Structure 1
Amino acid sequence: MTEILVQSRAEGGVLPADRVVDHPSWPVLKDAVEEIRSWQAKDGSIDLEAQGAPGRATVEAALTRVISAVEELSPLLPHDAEYHRALVADLRRWADGGFGVPDFLDSLLAFQPAAQRADGLQHLVVFAMYTQNGNPDRNLEAVVLRVVWPEWLAELERTRYDNPLFVGITFEDFTSGYDTNSAVLFPETIAVREAPERFTWGGIFCDREAARFRVVSEAAVETLGIDLPADIREMLADQDRCQQAFVLWDMVHDRTHSHGDLPFDPFMIKQRQPFWMYGLEELRCDLTAFKEAVKLEAEGFAQARDVQYAVIFDRMFRFPVTGDRVRNYDGLGGQLLFAYLHQHDVVRWTDNTLHIDWDRAPQVTNQLCSEIEKLYRDGIDRPKLVHWFAAYGLVSTYLAPHPGSTWAKGPDALDLTQPPRKLVDDVLPDEFPLSMFYEALAKKLKGVIASTKGITAQSAEQVAA
């Protein structure tokens, strides 16, 4: 990684940046944040009058330790100076207001990591926030991270995949909210008095994604008896190589939400839709990344071949058997990819072994991407409900619906006098159950997937060793 230079306070010279997590103030900050977290309610507030609550002086003392630690660490990160000043002001205002619902809008607006993407650049981030796929409560969190922005990726973003808001990141250390399955740092998760007019960045932890991918893929390969080509085996053994693949995958996936023939709201944030619509959107973005990776591989980008392996393995082996089965749209996308490849003879489960036709996999995977893109393109001319049924038809061509499904019976089984959003209530929690193949795989991988909670690059290496 490119080393980021800062001024040495001791000598006034230019030295490689110190690691924030090696500074004695970092464990002080972590401990104080953890203490405060234990007192917070779901909305982030602290009820000082509740039975067993700490006294105001105790809470203020812990917050003072947080503020002092931030001020002591901030000189290591001159690029975050404005953010840290705003952060301290937000923390003090929280205390002055009696520790009600926290408001970090001012410091959120001051934090602009996408404006200075440099490979290896550190950030110290403290917010009251929930962690997506992690802690649902808006607790105080502290995380130290580094930006992943190699020159080859920066050049691709400049010339082909414009995504000025995307920031690839890795963990240095974190508090409890990130000792979970969360692999993102998104501004919309942060406690604020009002949402900003627009969000200006989004961070994805490619190290956690890569580590999780390696551990689960290795277990799936062993369980299924897959004969891996040498280059895939080498990839799974190399954390940095996998991180490079994921940061490229993430960048292209992220921008795809606002490119192509789109639904009205590309991120579907404000739309109540059947969960297979969300599943198709996420899969569309992943398969677009796959399709672009096929092109990039032909142009000599080594990371592009790895992206293809990552998309196929993560989607087929981790997504379908991760999480519960209540409207699991990511799981559905993985089921659809596997079924499509299976029904086109790219994967075969024979003699208790999964065989993969590596030569045909790119062509057939791109074929599925084309089918989804055609669904979107045709959807522009359809009413919403008709489009939902068309999407259901695509999915049910390859996946068997639940035998009790109302939607599977067609429009005549639904009360079409209701608005479309009401018909979402007729969708079963598990509209497309796992196949017998996946039911068996889920039992085999359950413990491995559970072990990836809170995983980091370092812990993945320990598992590999």
Structure 2
Amino acid sequence: MAENLASIASDGGRTAVPRAAGEGSGRVVDHPAWTVLKRAVEELRPAQAKDGSVDFSADGAPTRAEAAALTGRIVAALDELSPLLPHDAAYHRALAADLRRWAGDGFGVPDFLDSLLAFHPAADRTDGRQHLVVFPMYTQNGNPDRNLEALVLRVVWPGWLAELERTRYDNPLFLGITFEDFTAGYDTNSAVLFPETIAVREAPERFTWGGIFCDREAARFRRVAGAARDVTGLRLPEEAEGLLTDQQRCQETFVLWDMVHDRTHSHGDLPFDPFMIKQRQPFWMYGLEELRCDLTAFHEADRLAAEGRPQGRDVQYAVILDRIFRFPVTGARVRNYDGLGGQLLFAYLHRHDALRWTDNRLSIDWDRAREVTARLREEIETLYRLGIDRPKLVHWLKAYELVSTYLAPHPGSTWAKGPDALDLTLPPRKLVDAVLPDEFPLSLFYEALAKKLRGVVESTRGITAQAQEAQAA
């Protein structure tokens, strides 16, 4: 449960966390006003268009007066709930003003910049602290429309994690969080709360926070990795089995993994802007970047394990198992860069005899897997370092060469034929059009695994820690 978040002991011991000091008494989701607020948001959401405006001409849409009444109920409920969250008082005042202005302007494209600028959950990360969040937004890997969403969350910031962030992995914007409750946009595969998804009139000069739901990531991992273990006959070490059966321990694992992964995007020998996801590049470039960040977390976890920190070895198990089992078989095959990274890790481990698929049974030599995974990280780091001195297109081609050494490209690929097959008179961004939607199709192994895990993967949509515990029981 979210009320029993991770340890506050710096030695890694696991102790229940009390309510954050300085908060009002009680859980937000237990207050009757939360139910009122959530229902009002859910009634308004279906009337919103893709850009967040309310389409009063649509069938079943409310009248302007009815929409105004719904926002009035949201503001009134917010007024009742805000005393439970004194740390969010300024945000809630700005939020009420943004809601009233949206209604007063006739429910056009929403602009919640003022309330976004007033929300600073990472400024004082307190373990177990609640936040009540309402924004018009799309949810990554969830709802693509900027609909109004409401959610209650708790911060995950145990003492051992705070110490690591302060002394080794500085990441002042990072926010580990868990769900308390949420509206329909989060009844999806979304496991993040990012400020750049919120409807505003202009992007702020800089963002001050970014949240990742470690409880959903942990629950999803436990369900999919557990099913994959059974399907493949993989025998896991006892400590890895323990990770699959302990939600609390698994959440701690993911919050550490995420914190190190997130900061890695702006650390190292980078031949590109760290926010490369905003640039137009072949999707294998995104795949390599996400994998590089995960393998850096893997590398740091090895150091932590050597120091006796229990979360270190857990992160290593999670990175390999989540990457090779869930990532390749999740989502569509159109430019699936996370899937590509998972395929590459599996193939690299297999090619270097750290992983074997023999007699319809999977086996992993974990000591060798740690060595081989470190080697893959070194190959990607070398690619990046040399890329600093290369033109963009050459860097892309060298990256393609690395990936295609281990993954077979589609037989119809233009890129696989090399630079002579590409129209080099075009700027690099135009050559992205020659990339196939599924440039590196699934292997025979993954085609079979995807069929066997399809139902399990689909069952993780909207998953919560409570739902996973209920299934396990």
Give the alignment's TM-score, normalised by structure 2. 0.95
Counterpart of 2:188 in structure 1 is 180
1:362 corresponds to which residue?
A: 370
Report 1:25-174 matches (<5 A). 25-50=33-58, 52-174=60-182
Partner of 1:168, secondary structure, is: strand
Amino acid at match of 1:413: A
Summarize the alignment of residues 383-422 of structure 1 with structure 2, pairs less than 5 Å apart. 383-422=391-430
Distance 2:42 2:19 in 1: 31
How much does 1:263 deviate? 2.8
C-alpha distance in structure 1 between counterparts of 2:250 and 2:60, whole Å: 47
Q: Does 1:269 align with 2:285?
A: no
User: Which of the numbers 23, 30, 46 marks the counterpart of 1:22?
Assistant: 30
Larger deviation: 73-82 or 270-279? 270-279
Q: Once the 2 structures are TM-superposed, how far is the Cα of residue 51 of structure 1 from its aligned partner?
A: 5.3
Whole-Å Cα distance in 1 between the matches of residues 403 and 461 of structure 2? 30
| Other-structure match for 1:307 | 315
The residue that corresponds to 1:12 in the other structure is none
Cα displacement (A) at 1:250: 0.2
Alignment match, 2:289: 281
Supply the AA of the counterpart residue of 2:261. H
- Higher mean displacement: 398-407 or 45-54: 45-54
Residues 185-334 of structure 1 correspond to what in structure 2 (within 5 A)?
185-334=193-342
The DSSP-based 3-state class of the residue aligned with 1:228 is coil
Q: Which of 406, 419, 425 in structure 1 is aligned with 2:433? A: 425
- Whether 1:5 aligns to 2:21 is yes
Could you tell me which residue of structure 1 aligns to residue 4 of structure 2?
none
Question: How high is the sequence identity, in percent, across the aligned residues?
Answer: 78
- Write the deviation string for residues 143-172 of structure 1: whole angstroms up to 9, x where unpaired: 000000000000000000000000000000
User: Which secondary structure does the structure 1 equivalent of 2:366 belong to?
Assistant: coil
The code of the aligned residue for 1:296 comes to: L
The 1-side partners of 2:359 and 2:288 are apart by 32
Q: Distance in 1 between matches of 2:34 and 2:422?
A: 57
Deviation at 1:329, TM superposition (A): 0.2
| Aligned-pair CA distance for 1:2 | 4.0
Distance in structure 2 (CA, Å) of the matches to 1:52 and 1:266: 45
Amino acid at match of 1:250: D
Q: 1:264 offset after TM fit, Å?
A: 2.3
Q: CA deviation at 1:60?
A: 1.1
What is residue 14 of structure 1 aligned with on the other side? none
User: Given that residues 151 and 182 in structure 2 are in contact (C-alpha distance below 8 angstroms), is that contact kept between their aligned partners in structure 1?
Assistant: yes
Instruction: Please report how far the alpha carbon of residue 59 of structure 1 lies from its aligned counterpart in structure 2 after TM superposition.
Output: 0.9
CA distance in 2, matches of 1:4, 1:208: 22
Residue 193 of structure 1 deviates from its aligned partner by: 0.5
User: Does the residue aligned with 2:97 lie in a helix, a strand or coil?
Assistant: helix
**Is the Cα–Cα contact under 8 Å of residues 6 and 76 in structure 1 kept in the other structure?**
no
SS, match of residue 207 in structure 2: coil
Secondary structure of the residue aligned to 2:431 is helix
CA–CA distance in 1 between the matches of 2:295 and 2:382? 13
One-letter code aligned to 1:191: A
CA contact (8 A) 1:94 1:100 kept: yes
Give RMSD over aligned pairs: 0.9
Tell me the SS of whatever aligns to 2:321. helix
Distance in 2, Cα, partners of 1:217 & 1:132? 22
**What 5-or-longer segments of structure 2 have no aligned partner?**
1-16
Q: Secondary structure at the match of 2:410?
A: coil
- Return the offset for 1:79: 0.2
Counterpart-to-counterpart distance in 2, 1:60 and 1:419: 50
Q: Mark the runs of 5 or more structure 1 residues left unpaired by the alignment.
A: 9-16
Report if aligned partners of 1:166, 1:254 keep a CA contact under 8 Å in 2.
Answer: yes
What is the CA-CA distance between 1:267 and the residue it aligns to? 2.0
The CA distance in 2 between the partners of 1:462 and 1:443, in whole Å, is 25
Residue 83 of structure 1 aligns to a residue whose secondary structure is: helix
Distance 2:60 2:27 in 1: 38
Q: Deviations over 1:343-390 (max 9, x none)?
A: 000110001100100121111101100000000000001001111000
SS at match of 1:431: coil
For normalisation by structure 1, the TM-score amounts to: 0.97
SS at match of 1:359: helix
For 1:432-463, what per-residue CA distance to the aligned partner results, in whole angstroms no more than 9, with x for missing partners? 00000000000000000000000000001112
| Mapped partners of 1:100, 1:59: distance in 2 | 12
Q: 2:392 is matched by which residue type in structure 1?
A: K
Q: Classify the secondary structure of the residue corresponding to 1:402.
A: coil
Aligned equivalents of 1:396 and 1:156: distance in 2? 37
Question: What's 2:390 paired with?
Answer: 382
Deviation, 1:3, is: 2.3
